[in-house]
Amino acid sequence: MTRLVQKHAWVLGLLVLLMVLLGITKLIQPSFGATGLESLARAALPFAFATAAMAIVVIVGGIDLSIASMMAVCGVTAAVLMQSMGAVPAIIITLGVGTAMGAINGALIVVTKVPDIVVTLAMLFVWEGVALLILSTPGGNVTDAMQGIIAGSILPGLPMALVVMAVAIALVWMPVRRSKIGLSIYAVGSDELAAFRSGVSVGWTKVVAYALCGLLAAMGGMSLIMLTGIGEPVPGPYLLASVAAVVLGGVVLGGGRGGLLGPIIAVFILRIIRTILTLAAVDPNVTTIVEGVIMVAVVMLGAIVTYRGVRA
């Protein structure tokens, strides 16, 4: 019970922190309003999908280092497909590609028994290579209609990008969360042996979790090309950012705890810090350093918490 309260308290705390940061932004830049929110939500989009994807594999007790590479593959796939077909079939195919890549990661981990961190490190390079094979230089085509999806606001203060993200992630996660397979994901991450003894198929659960990660990474990859209008084969800085957001969002490295809401709020917190630094006229490169330091510090904090948790 207390843990339940604690968990919500953490997410609530993050939400309060986000509000405070938004307030600070408004103070620094009084003209910060609906358009500011819009651009913030748009910039956060790929990070949010990457984080949601990472959160699921962390909950199952794993990690997927190949997330940014999978996003790159999906981005270029969609951009190339849209040159020859409509947006809808291209999106559907890309989602399939992402899911398949995730499932391959998961299956390799289960079948080879090589630890997740090593498999996904190798796959990071494999998928990066695949992305470059599909498109060796930035290119492809993104239909205007698709870019239009995340532009503007539904209501004042409610950016379209935010709605798209919430709907997309909810469509993936909600049916899973309360179903048997969702329970199994938490069970395997929490205590693999107890899960096995409760009759959970551990291997299958892991494959599904990694496949879901791939599916969300595909959405992330597509959101990327919606932002830039072009397919970019070189993976972006989404790995460390997603791990940091997942940890900050209250998902314990090692698995079993947390949800997707916390990490996504954490994404916005990390993004808005960047906005604030930019508004405060800090050199963008310095901003990168500050961001990096914050992310490393968050991950360190997570490691301390996990380490203490194991020892206690």
Partner 1 sequence: MSIHPEQTAASDPRLVRFGRYLADNPVIPLIAFLFFLIGVLEVMRPGIVLPFLGGREGIISTFWVGNLIKFAIPLAMIAACQVLTMLTAGIDLSAGIVATCSAFVCATLMPLMGPVPAVLIAMAVGMIVGLVNGFGVGVVRVHPLIMTLGTGLIATGCLQVYQRFVIATGTEIPAFLEWLGTGRTFAMPNGLFLFVPFAIFVIWLMRATGFGRLLFALGSNEHAAKLSGVRSWQVFLALYALSGLIASVAGLLYLGMIRAPSLSLANPLMLPSVAAAVIGGTSIFGGRGSFAGAIVGALILRVIDTMLTLLQMPEGARIALFGLIILLVTALYVRITGTR
Partner 2 sequence: MDEVQRDSLLDASGIAKSFGAVRALSDASLHVARGQVVALMGANGAGKSTFVKIITGALRPDSGKVLIRGEEARVGSPAQARRSGLVPVYQEPSLIPDLDVADNLRLGDTPVEPFLNWVNELGVGGLRLDHMIADLPLATLRILDLARALAAEPDVLLLDEMTAALPTDLVENVLRVVRAQADEGRGVIYISHRFTEISELCDSATVLRDGRSVGDLKIEPGVEGRVVEMMLGAKIDLGARETGGARAKEGTPRIRARGLAVAPKVTDVSLDLYPGEVLGVVALEGQGQDEVFDVLAGFRRPTSGTFEVDGSPVSFGHPADAISAGLTFVPGDRAEALLRERSVHENIALPFSARVGSWGPLKARHERERVGHAIDKLQIDTRAKGEVQRLSGGNQQKVTIGRWLAHGVETLLLFDPTRGIDVRTKRQIYPLVRELADQGAAVLFYTSELEEVPLACDRAVVIFNGRVVDVIDAAEADEETLMRAAYGLTEDKAAS
Contact (CB, 8 A) for 250 and 7 = yes
183 binds, among partner 2, partner 1, none (CB under 5 to 8 A by kind): partner 2
Tokens matching residue 298: 């968050």
Subset of residues 253 to 282 that bind partner 2, contact rule: CB under 8 A: 256-257
Which range binds partner 1 by CB under 8 A, 15-23, 173-181, 266-274, 286-294?
A: 286-294
How far is residue 304's CA from residue 217's CA, in Å, rounded to a whole number? 28
Residue 9 binds to partner 2 (criterion: CB under 8 A): no
Which range binds partner 2 by CB under 8 A, 44-52, 113-121, 193-201, 224-232?
A: 193-201
Find tokens 């984080």 and name the residue. 51
Residue 280 binds to partner 1 (criterion: CB under 8 A): no
Tokens matching residue 1: 């019970």
232 binds, among partner 1, partner 2, none (CB under 5 to 8 A by kind): none
Residue 240 binds to partner 1 (criterion: CB under 8 A): yes
Residue 133 binds to partner 1 (criterion: CB under 8 A): yes
Subset of residues 175 to 204 that bind partner 1, contact rule: CB under 8 A: 192-193, 196, 202
Q: In the beta sheet, which residues pair with residue 139?
A: 231
- For every residue of the chain, DSSP letters joined together read -HHHHHHHHHHHHHHHHHHHHHHHHHHH-TT-SHHHHHHHHHHHHHHHHHHHHHHHHHHTT---TTHHHHHHHHHHHHHHHTTTS-HHHHHHHHHHHHHHHHHHHHHHHHHH---HHHHHHHHHHHHHHHHHHH-SSSB----HHHHHHTSSEEETTEEHHHHHHHHHHHHHHHHHHTSHHHHHHHHHHH-HHHHHHTT--HHHHHHHHHHHHHHHHHHHHHHHHHHHSSB--S--SHHHHHHHHHHHTTPPTTSS---SHHHHHHHHHHHHHHHHHHHTT--HHHHHHHHHHHHHHHHHHHHHHHHHHHH-
**Closest approach of Cβ 58 to partner 1, in Å?**
12
**Closest approach of Cβ 88 to partner 2, in Å?**
36
Burial of residue 278 (CB within 10 Å: 0-12, 13-18, 19+) is middle
State which of residues 31, 155, 197, 308 lies at the interface with partner 2 (CB under 8 A): 197
What mask of x and - would describe binding to partner 1 in positions 60 to 99, judged by CB under 8 A? -----x----------------------------------
**Closest approach of Cβ 246 to partner 2, in Å?**
16
174 binds, among partner 1, partner 2, none (CB under 5 to 8 A by kind): none
194 binds, among partner 1, partner 2, none (CB under 5 to 8 A by kind): partner 2
Residue 254 backbone dihedrals phi, psi, to 5 degrees: 120, -25
Residue 234 binds to partner 1 (criterion: CB under 8 A): no
200 binds, among partner 1, partner 2, none (CB under 5 to 8 A by kind): partner 2
121 binds, among partner 1, partner 2, none (CB under 5 to 8 A by kind): partner 1
Residue 124 binds to partner 1 (criterion: CB under 8 A): yes
**Residues in contact with partner 2 by the rule CB under 8 A:** 1-4, 180, 183-184, 186-187, 189-191, 193-201, 256-257
**Residues in contact with partner 1 by the rule CB under 8 A:** 65, 108, 112-115, 117-119, 121-134, 136, 192-193, 196, 202, 233, 237, 239-240, 243, 283, 285-286, 288-289, 291-293, 295-296, 299-300, 303-304, 307
